[in-house]
Structure 1
């Protein structure tokens, strides 16, 4: 099974920043160490094309990231300070999901170790999510006639609010999110189906 990763891209973050950017490299190393992924299965993901980003995200938002004009308020909402490295890594993460989607159509299964950016909306990022890789992959496959319908099964503890908003009202994309009821995002979007879980259940 082909598994894509982009942990070679280092994003400069302030000392004490709460996002554990090193987790992607650690995940790859653990999977290799434990024999769950062979080195021959691993592929370095490539930065996704700007045209693919624009299938989901607004030109103004993409432009603010590419040209480094993202406002201070939008950087706070995103959770990351802007940097060229952040944009490159985010494009590569989305590129990995798109490559994995094409690989899954060919092989039946594939993976991306750095995807899942479900808090990114069409016109802004939030919750450490810059570009919505799920939505970009689905829209690209639809645009190329490779698929007609899709389902997003999101089992993160946080609701996939960006994904829900992007596909709201789209009968060809079913969004399912099972998440904690009382955590971020505190203003939830409406997925096709939401299952909210109480604290401490499971």
Structure 2
């Protein structure tokens, strides 16, 4: 079975007009998978709905005062501006629920071998502050949770968002049981890039072939050297050639190939894989849906080979042609 994790609250947040964050993409992706493409007819797929994590649970990772201020709307205005969202109860609810979703994705991956989350990837959240649309770091939180599960002694976070996972790197810098691997644009947000365990920084305008060649080589070596018991994969699509915040030239097909490679490597090495959709930015949120969907088609292609699944017809991006 292919478990998918989703909650309607992910898109239930009212933002100011022309806000950069594509808040509706989660609901649009869910509808794309369940209605337009009828994913249930392709394979044995099941949706799971997570519960919100408690503030106390997050205090095992983040500073207690920061979490309390975040929940109680007492965070200084400058720190909220650094996050990039206006405070609201809905913002807190979706943040806690999404963190619960990534934790659930880890649990399901350990049970079924793979699980995909229709949210997650908030890797710019640090110990005592949030940044870049990230309030709490669900990747680090879920990785720490994974180490409490039977048979999980080493976790690798593979972060393919175009922006370096700076919060994840700092939060887990002293954790020898969690390996952080970030592949990103060298000249993009954040300006200061603390060291991950593995950083693959590629120049602006990197194209599909160059990206895949470099990434596949480093990932293959990293998996062979470190042999993780679980992989948490941030499948950000802001590497796409038409992303508003990306600066790479990777095509939609290239994203499918990247996701297929990560999933097949984990599958072939019997490593459970918990994936989140990560970043992706367009003014027209619908244009993101098909690109994010490549992760799901890649998972089906690897885990349902008898059905000979490939990316469905019509996966060329709106602006690729």
TM-score (norm 1): 0.94
1:34 equivalenced with 2:12 (yes/no): no
Long gaps (5+) in structure 2: 208-321
Greater mean alpha carbon deviation, residues 70-79 or residues 138-147 = 138-147
In structure 1, what is the equivalent of residue 126 of structure 2? 121
In structure 1, what is the equivalent of residue 22 of structure 2? 20
- Bigger share in helix: 2
Which SS does the other structure have where 2:4 is aligned?
Answer: strand
Q: Structure 2 matches for 1:37-186, cutoff 5 A?
A: 41-143=46-148, 147-186=152-191
Q: Is the 8 A contact 2:39 2:45 kept in 1?
A: no
Moved over 3 A (4+): 35-40, 143-146
Residues 109 and 31 of structure 1: is their aligned pair in 2 closer, same or farther, counting only changes over 3 Å? same
In structure 1, what is the equivalent of residue 212 of structure 2? none
Distance in 1 (alpha carbons) for counterparts of 2:21 and 2:170: 24
Instruction: Please list the CA deviations of residues 140-177 of structure 1 after superposition, one character each: whole Å capped at 9, or x if unmatched.
Output: 23245662211100001100110011111321111000
TM-score (norm 2): 0.60
CA RMSD of aligned residues (A): 1.7
Instruction: Please list the CA deviations of residues 10-35 of structure 1 after superposition, one character each: whole Å capped at 9, or x if unmatched.
Output: 11211221111001111112222223
Which SS does the other structure have where 1:11 is aligned?
Answer: coil
